[in-house]
Amino acid sequence: MSAPRASCLIVLSSAVEGVSAQSFVQAFKLTHTNFSIQLASPGGKVTEFVQQDENNRRWLNDFRTKSYSMPISLESIDAARYSALLIPAAPGAIHDLATNQHLAQIVQHFAKENKPLCAIGPGVAGLCGARQEDKKSWSFADYSMTAPSIFEIARTPEFAILPILLEDFIKDSGGKYSSSECDAVHIVVDRHLVTGQNTQSTLIAVQNLILLCTHKQTKHGGGR
């Protein structure tokens, strides 16, 4: 009898700025073949997928007919049930996930237990709320990571009103930030954390998350 599949929690923004359609579709396709998937969002609200093209629009239309396409609320999540956590690129994450206390507790659980987690592009904002037990130090203070650079974000119309600039937040909170040129694929893997700079980095970032999970299962499961 085969072992049960590991579970992956995919956290989506429910802010009007939405989630990148390309990042979500790539991330879901990859994880769905390797994990049991659960989607979650603040309040279990439906997600707005932005920057759609013809291909991912067709896929998303079909996806929305499936029962598993409806997210459940972050408030109801028991983090201990999941082996992996994934936050796709989401312009809305800076507006809702960055300050969501339920997500902060989930992320803190993953940080404390050294469980694989992956955040991509502006989805890295979902890591901002996690605090160590002193409630002051950021849980990823000594981690190397990436996120959209200020140079990248400065080209967007919403730059002037963004509540958080992730490059500054990471540096100011004690993280080690790196980036590549705009629109280039760039990921950083540090221990159990995978971060991707932008939507274009989704594929490789999620592949690395899967590798980390496979390695952890083999290590703890006594694989051959």
pLDDT tens string 152-202: 999 888 888 889 999 999 999 999 999 998 888 999 999 999 999 999 999
Which domains, from first to last, does the chain contain? 7-221 (3.40.50.880)
Check pLDDT > 70 for residue 222.
Answer: no
Check pLDDT > 90 for residue 102.
Answer: yes
Q: Which two tokens stand for residue 150?
A: 């200020």
Arithmetic mean of pLDDT, 22-48? 95
Q: Are 116 and 90 in contact (CB under 8 A)?
A: no
Check pLDDT > 50 for residue 29.
Answer: yes
Arithmetic mean of pLDDT, 32-41? 94
Check pLDDT > 50 for residue 51.
Answer: yes
Whole-number pLDDT of residue 175: 96
What are the tens digits of pLDDT across the range 66-81? 989 999 999 999 999 9
Strands 187-190 vs 193-196: parallel, antiparallel or unpaired: antiparallel
> What separation, in Å, do the N-terminal and C-terminal C-alpha atoms of the chain show?
16
Q: What angle do CA 195, 196, 199 make, to 5 degrees?
A: 145
What are the tens digits of pLDDT across the range 103-151? 999 999 999 999 999 999 999 999 999 998 777 899 999 999 999 999 9
pTM for the complete prediction? 0.93
Q: What is the DSSP letter of 60?
A: H
Q: How far apart are CA 197 and CA 122, in angstroms?
A: 8
Note the helical H segments in the chain.
21-32, 54-63, 101-113, 150-153, 166-172, 202-221
Top-confidence residue, 3 or 150: 150
Arithmetic mean of pLDDT, 16-34? 95
Whole-number pLDDT of residue 177: 97
Check pLDDT > 80 for residue 1.
Answer: no
Query: Torsion over CA of 51, 55, 61 and 65, rounded to 10 degrees?
Result: -130
